[in-house]
Chain A
Amino acid sequence: MNVLKRLFGVIWMLGGFVLAVYMPYQAVAKLTAPAASAEDFVFWIVVVTIFIPIIIGFILFGYYAVKGEYSEA
Chain B
Amino acid sequence: MASKTNFLYLADFNKPHMSAQSSSDLKTRNLWKVITASSAGTLIEWYDFYIFGSLATILSAQFFPKENPTAAFLSTLATFAAGFIVRPFGALVFGRIGDLIGRKYTFLLTLLIMGGSTFAIGLIPGYATIGYAAPILVLLLRLLQGLALGGEYGGAATYVAEHAPAGKKGYYTSFIQTTASLGLFFSLGVILISRFLMGVETFNAWGWRVPFLLSAVLVFVSFVIRSKMKESPLFEKIKSEGKVSQQPLKDSFGKKENLKLVLLALFGATAGQGVIWYTGQFYALSFIQKTMNIEFIQSNMAIAAGVLIATPFFIVFGAWSDKIGRKKIMLAGMLLGIVLYMPIYKQMYALSDLSAKTEIEGFGSINKQISVSTKTSTKTITHILTDGTQWNEIIKQNTEDESIPPVVTKEIKLAQKAFWMLVLFITIQVFLVTMVYGPIAAFLVELFPTRIRYTSMSLPYHIGNGVFGGLTPFIATSLTSLPGATPFDGLWYPIGVASVCFIIGLVYINKTHQQNVN
Interface residues as binary, A22-59 with B (CB distance below 8 Å gives 1, 0 otherwise): 00000000000000001100110011011100100110
Whether a CB of chain A sits under 8 angstroms from the CB of B474 is: yes
Chain B residues with CB under 8 A of A46: 80-81, 84-85
Name A residues whose Cβ lies closer than 8 Å to a Cβ of B.
Answer: 1, 4-5, 8, 12, 15, 38-39, 42-43, 46-47, 49-51, 54, 57-58, 60-61, 64-65, 69-70, 72
Given that A38-B73, A39-B76, A47-B471 are known contacts, is A5 also in contact with B85, CB under 8 Å in the complex? no
26 examples of A-B residue contacts, CB within 8 angstroms: A1-B507, A4-B507, A5-B508, A12-B267, A12-B504, A15-B500, A38-B72, A38-B76, A42-B77, A42-B80, A43-B80, A43-B474, A46-B80, A49-B85, A51-B467, A57-B266, A57-B267, A60-B259, A60-B263, A61-B264, A61-B504, A64-B256, A64-B260, A64-B263, A70-B260, A70-B264
Rounded to whole angstroms, the CA-CA distance of A12 and B266 in the bound complex is: 14
Which residue of B72, B76, B510 is within 8 Å of A72 (Cβ)? B510
A24 CB to nearest chain B CB (Å): 16
Across-interface contacts of A12 in B (CB, < 8 A): 267, 504
How distant is the Cα of A12 from the Cα of B85 in the complex, in angstroms? Answer: 24
Top-5 shortest CB links A-B: A61-B263, A42-B76, A46-B80, A38-B73, A39-B76
Interface residues of B: mostly helix, strand, loop or mixed? helix
CB distance from B168 to the nearest CB of A (A): 27
In the bound complex, CA of A65 to CA of B256 (Å):
12
* Interface membership of B483, Cβ < 8 A: no
- State which residues 151-167 of B face A: CB under 8 Å: none
Q: How far is the CB of B82 from chain A (nearest CB, A)?
A: 11
A64–B260 CA distance with the chains assembled, in angstroms: 7
| Residue from A5, A50, A61, A64 in contact with B84 in the complex, judged by beta carbons closer than 8 Å | A50
B267 with A61: CB separation less than 8 A: yes
Interface residues of B in 242-280 (CB under 8 A from A): 256, 259-260, 263-264, 266-267
Report the bound CA distance from A4 to B151 in whole Å.
36
B221 close to chain A: CB less than 8 A = no
- Chain A nearest CB from B92 CB (Å) reads 12
B74-95 interface (Cβ within 8 A of A): 76-77, 80-81, 84-85, 88
Q: Is the CB of A58 within 8 A of B267?
A: yes
A39 neighbours in B (Cβ, 8 Å): 72, 76
Which B residues lie within 8 Å of A5 (CB)?
507-508
Evaluate contact between B467 and A57: CB separation under 8 angstroms: no
Number of A-B contacts (CB under 8 A): 61
Is the CB of B69 closer than 8 A to any CB of chain A?
yes
Instruction: Name the distance in Å between B80's Cβ and chain A's nearest Cβ.
Output: 5
Query: B141 on the interface (CB 8 Å rule)?
Result: no
When chains A and B are docked, how far (Å) is the Cα of A49 from the Cα of B85? 9
Residue of A nearest to B72 (CB): A38
- Cβ contacts under 8 Å, B260 to chain A: 61, 64, 69-70
Is the CB of B369 closer than 8 A to any CB of chain A? no
B146: min CB distance to chain A, Å: 12
Task: Say yes or no for B503: interface residue by CB 8 A criterion.
Answer: yes
Q: A43's contact among B72, B76, B263, B266, by CB below 8 Å, is which?
A: B76
Residues of A within 8 A of B259 (CB): 60
Please give the distance in Å from A16's CB to the nearest CB on chain B: 10
How many Å from the CB of A50 to the closest CB on chain B? 6
- If A8-B507, A38-B76, A69-B256 touch, whether A50 touches B467 (CB-CB below 8 Å) is yes
Is A42 within 8 A of B73, CB to CB? yes
A1 and B509 CA atoms in complex are apart in Å by: 12
Interface residue? B147 (CB, 8 A): no
B250 to chain A, nearest CB (A): 16
CA distance A31 to B474 in the complex (A): 16
Complex Cα distance, B503 from A12, in Å, reads 11
CB nearest to B474 among chain A residues: A43
Min Cβ gap A1→B in Å is 7
- A57 close to B263 (CB less than 8 A): yes
**Chain B positions within 8 Å of A57 at CB level:** 263, 266-267
The answer, yes or no, to whether B315 is at the interface (CB within 8 Å) is: no
Q: How far is the CA of A12 from the CA of B500 in the complex (A)?
A: 9
B5 at interface by CB-CB < 8 Å: no
Mark B58-80 against chain A: 1 for CB-CB distance below 8 A, else 0.
00000000000100110011001
B463 at interface, CB cutoff 8 A = yes
Contact of A38 among B69, B503, B510 (CB under 8 A): B69
B373 sits at the interface (CB 8 A): no
B509 vs chain A, min Cβ distance (A): 9
Which residues from chain B contact A42 at a C-beta distance below 8 Å? 73, 76-77, 80-81
Docked CA distance A64–B73 (Å): 41
- Judge if B403 is at the interface, Cβ distance under 8 Å: no
B371 interface residue (CB < 8 Å to A): no
A69 to B301, CA, bound (A): 48
Point out the residues of chain B lying under 8 angstroms from A8, CB to CB: 503-504, 507
What is the bound-complex CA distance between A2 and B88, given in angstroms? 32
- CB contacts (< 8 Å) of B85 on chain A: these are 46, 49-50
Chain B residues with Cβ under 8 A from A72's Cβ?
A: 510, 512
